[in-house]
C-alpha cells in the first residue's frame, strides 16, 4: 500500500542538504507520542526577504536555465525492482496518489485521486471508479494476495473493491476525527485495515484491532501503515518518521528523534517482517532492521517529490512513486479553468539555478509571483505581487476573499498562515486545482518543496481538507481569494 502525503513548512530556516540511503537505528522501544524536536515538513516553502507592495518587473528572466526536470518515468526502481511503465504519455484527470504491486512483483498498479487505475507489466486491470463522481478523493490502494483484484480507499474512508477484492465495510458514512490516509490488506485478503491521520485504526472483515494512536497526541500526523506478514500486528509511521508498533510488529528503529531534511511520505516492510523502509518526500530512503538500502533519489536536482515506497516480492528492491512527473489536467473533478491549465503546465523543477531564481519574477521567494502569473494567464488584471498579503488585499478590493467555511473553486488562490498582515502571518500560497464534494482540494504551488532552501519547484499538494490544513500541511489556511 502506498498513499500520497506531503506537508508545507513554515520555518524560514535553511534546510539541511538531501541525504541518500541512510542506515539508522537499532532495535529498541516503540516510538512514543512525541516526534522529532524539529519536525520536517511535507511541502517546503520559503518566505524570507519579500517586500510587501513590491511588483515584479515585466520580462524579467533571472538566473541560468538548466535542463528540463522530471524527465524520468515517475516510478523509480531500485534493486531488483523493474520499470514496467507509467502514465507519462497521457494527461491524467487527477494526480496519482497510490501504488501496489502484483504478488510476484512482475507488475504494478497506480491509482489516481479520481479513482482511475493504471496497470503495468503483469498487473491486470479489474475496474476503477475513474468515471464515477466520488464524494471524496481516493488516497491509497491495496492489492489482494492473489493479485486478481484491488481495493481503493478514499479520504472519508469509502472503500471501492474490484476483481477478487471483496467489500467488507468502510467508514464512508461515519464522521471521522481525522481523514483516512491509507489502508493495508490482511494476508488472506478477507479483510483490511484503514488508518486515519491521527492514527485511528478501523478494522473490517478478518482484520483484528491491535491498538492505535487515536487517543494519543502526536507531534506529526500518521502518513501510512504496513501489516506484519502474519497479519497479527501492524506498524504506523508519522510524517517525522516516528514508528508506532502494535500486535507482533517489532520496533527496529525510526527517524522520529533524528533531524531529517524532508518529511516521511510512507513505509514498506520487508518480506520477513523483520524490518522496514521509510521513504522521505525528497527521495531519501531509510532502512531499518533487515531492510537493505538499494538506492535513493535524494541527490537528484531539482528535487522530485516522492509520495511513497512499494517493495518487491522478495524485498530485494523497491519502487518510489513520483506523481508530479505525470502530466495532469485536474479536470475530474474540476472544470476547464484557464488559470489551472496554466499552473498545471508549470509543474516541474525550477528551471533556474540561482538561489530563489524563477521564471515569474526576480530572484526572491516566489510563491505569490507564481500565483499572480497564473491568474494573469487566465486574464486577471492583477500586478505580479511578490507578497501573499498583497494578493489578499488586491482580491479583497477587486473580487472577494473568504474563509475555509466556504468552498473554493478551481482557479482560486489558497493563502496559508494566520492573516495578511506581514511575512510572518501570510507565509505561503498556491492555486486551487481541484475541489471534491466533501470539500477536499488539490493545489498547485510555486516555490514549494521538498528541496534545498532557495531551490524549490512547482509542485502538486493534496488532496487534503482545508479545515485540516494545519495537520496536513503544518500551517492553516487564513483565506481563499477569488480571481
DSSP code per residue over 283-296 = S-EEEEET------
Q: What does DSSP assign to residue 421?
A: S
Q: What is the pLDDT of residue 465?
A: 97
- pTM for this model (two decimals): 0.91
Q: Which domain holds residue 470?
A: 338-482
For residue 161, what is its C-alpha cell?
Answer: 473493491
Confidence of residue 293 (pLDDT cuts 50, 70, 90): very high
Give the span between the Cα atoms of 152 and 111, in whole angstroms: 8
- Three-state SS string over 354-397 comes to CCCCECCECCCCCHHHHHHHHHHHCCCCCCCECCHHHHHHHHHH
For residue 80, what is its C-alpha cell?
Answer: 531488483
Q: Of 477, 480, 475, give the one whose Cα is nearest residue 407.
A: 480
Phi, psi of 373 (to 5 degrees): -60, -45
pLDDT digits (tens, 9 = 90+) for 409-441: 999 999 999 999 999 999 999 999 999 999 999
Q: Identify whether 197 is part of a domain.
A: no
- For the CA atoms of 182, 186, 190, 193, the dihedral, rounded to the nearest 10 degrees, stands at -30
Q: Identify whether 316 is part of a domain.
A: no
Q: What is the mean pLDDT of residues 261-278?
A: 97
Q: Identify whether 234 is part of a domain.
A: no
Burial class of 71 by CB neighbour count within 10 A (0 to 12, 13 to 18, 19+): exposed
Q: How many domains does the chain fold into?
A: 1
Please, which residues have CB within 8 angstroms of residue 433's CB and are 6 or more apart in sequence? Answer: 330, 334, 340, 343, 344, 410, 441, 442, 443, 444, 460
Does the structure show a pLDDT above 60 at 33?
A: no
Q: Identify whether 408 is part of a domain.
A: yes
pLDDT digits (tens, 9 = 90+) for 148-165: 999 999 999 999 999 999
Q: Identify whether 369 is part of a domain.
A: yes
Please, which residues have CB within 8 angstroms of residue 39's CB and are 6 or more apart in sequence? Answer: 219, 220, 239, 240, 263, 474
Does the structure show a pLDDT above 60 at 114?
A: yes
Does the structure show a pLDDT above 90 at 187?
A: yes
Average pLDDT of every residue of the chain: 88
For residue 136, what is its C-alpha cell?
Answer: 471524496
Q: Report the SS3 class of residue 340.
A: helix
Q: What number of residues does the chain have?
A: 483
pLDDT digits (tens, 9 = 90+) for 336-389: 789 999 999 999 888 888 999 999 999 999 999 999 999 999 999 999 999 999
Give the span between the Cα atoms of 260 and 244, in whole angstroms: 18
Element (H, E) at 141: strand 138-143
Please, which residues have CB within 8 angstroms of residue 339's CB and are 6 or more apart in sequence? Answer: 374, 375, 377, 378, 380, 410, 411, 431, 483
CATH of the domain at 392: 3.90.1720
pLDDT digits (tens, 9 = 90+) for 68-88: 446 679 999 999 999 999 999
Q: What is the pLDDT of residue 11?
A: 30
Residue 358 in contact with residue 372, Cβ under 8 Å?
no
Q: Identify whether 418 is part of a domain.
A: yes
Residue 291 in contact with residue 253, Cβ under 8 Å?
no
Q: Identify whether 360 is part of a domain.
A: yes
Neighbours of 29 (CB within 10 A): 7
Q: Between 388-398 and 367-377, two packed helices, what is the crossing angle to 10 degrees?
A: 40
Q: Identify whether 283 is part of a domain.
A: no
Place of cell 492573516: 419
Amino acid at each position: 500500500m502506498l498513499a500520497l502525503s506531503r506537508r508545507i513548512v513554515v520555518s524560514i530556516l535553511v534546510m539541511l542538504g538531501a541525504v541518500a540511503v541512510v542506515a539508522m537505528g537499532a532495535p529498541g522501544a516503540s516510538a512514543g507520542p512525541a516526534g522529532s524536536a524539529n519536525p520536517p515538513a511535507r511541502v517546503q516553502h520559503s518566505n524570507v526577504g519579500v517586500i510587501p507592495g513590491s511588483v515584479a518587473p515585466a520580462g524579467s528572466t533571472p538566473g541560468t536555465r538548466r535542463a528540463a526536470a522530471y524527465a524520468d518515468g515517475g516510478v523509480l526502481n531500485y534493486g531488483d525492482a523493474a520499470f514496467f511503465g507509467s502514465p507519462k504519455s497521457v494527461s491524467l484527470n487527477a494526480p496519482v496518489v497510490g501504488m501496489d504491486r502484483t504478488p510476484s512483483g512482475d507488475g504494478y498498479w497506480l491509482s489516481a485521486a479520481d479513482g482511475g487505475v493504471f496497470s503495468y507489466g503483469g498487473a491486470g486491470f479489474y475496474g476503477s471508479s475513474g468515471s464515477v463522481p466520488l464524494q471524496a478523493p481516493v488516497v491509497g490502494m491495496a492489492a489482494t494476495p492473489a493479485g486478481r483484484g484491488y481495493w481503493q480507499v478514499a479520504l472519508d474512508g469509502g472503500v471501492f473493491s474490484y476483481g477478487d477484492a471483496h467489500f467488507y465495510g468502510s467508514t464512508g458514512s461515519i464522521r471521522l476525527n481525522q481523514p483516512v490516509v491509507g489502508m493495508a490488506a490482511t494476508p488472506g485478503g478477507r479483510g483490511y485495515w484503514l488508518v486515519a491521520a491521527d492514527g485511528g485504526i478501523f478494522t473490517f472483515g478478518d482484520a483484528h484491532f491491535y491498538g492505535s494512536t487515536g487517543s494519543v497526541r502526536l507531534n506529526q500526523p500518521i502518513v501510512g501503515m504496513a501489516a506484519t506478514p502474519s497479519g497479527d500486528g501492524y506498524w504506523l509511521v508519522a510524517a517525522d518518521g516516528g514508528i508506532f508498533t502494535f500486535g507482533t510488529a517489532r520496533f527496529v528503529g525510526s527517524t522520529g528523534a533524528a533531524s531529517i531534511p524532508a518529511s516521511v511520505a510512507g513505509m514498506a516492510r520487508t518480506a520477513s517482517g523483520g524490518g522496514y523502509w521509510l521513504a522521505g518526500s525528497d527521495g531519501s530512503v531509510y532502512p531499518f532492521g533487515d531492510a537493505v538500502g538499494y538506492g535513493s533519489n535524494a541527490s537528484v536536482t531539482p528535487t522530485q517529490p516522492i509520495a511513497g515506497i512499494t517493495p518487491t516480492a522478495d524485498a530485494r528492491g523497491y519502487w518510489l512513486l513520483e506523481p508530479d512527473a505525470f502530466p495532469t489536467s485536474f479536470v475530474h473533478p474540476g472544470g476547464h479553468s484557464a488559470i489551472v491549465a496554466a499552473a498545471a503546465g508549470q509543474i516541474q523543477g525550477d528551471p533556474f539555478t540561482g538561489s530563489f531564481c524563477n521564471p515569474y519574477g526576480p530572484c526572491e521567494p516566489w510563491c505569490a509571483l507564481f500565483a499572480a502569473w497564473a491568474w494573469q494567464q487566465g486574464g486577471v488584471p492583477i500586478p505580479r505581487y511578490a507578497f501573499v498579503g498583497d494578493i489578499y488585499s488586491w482580491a479583497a478590493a477587486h473580487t472577494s476573499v473568504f474563509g475555509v467555511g466556504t468552498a473554493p473553486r478551481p482557479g482560486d488562490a489558497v493563502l496559508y498562515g494566520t492573516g495578511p498582515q506581514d511575512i510572518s502571518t501570510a507565509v505561503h500560497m498556491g492555486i486551487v486545482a481541484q475541489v471534491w464534494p466533501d470539500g477536499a482540494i488539490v493545489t498547485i504551488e510555486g516555490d514549494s518543496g521538498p528541496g534545498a532552501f532557495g531551490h524549490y519547484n512547482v509542485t502538486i499538494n493534496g488532496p487534503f481538507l482545508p479545515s485540516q490544513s494545519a495537520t496536513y500541511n503544518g500551517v492553516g489556511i487564513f483565506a481563499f481569494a477569488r480571481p
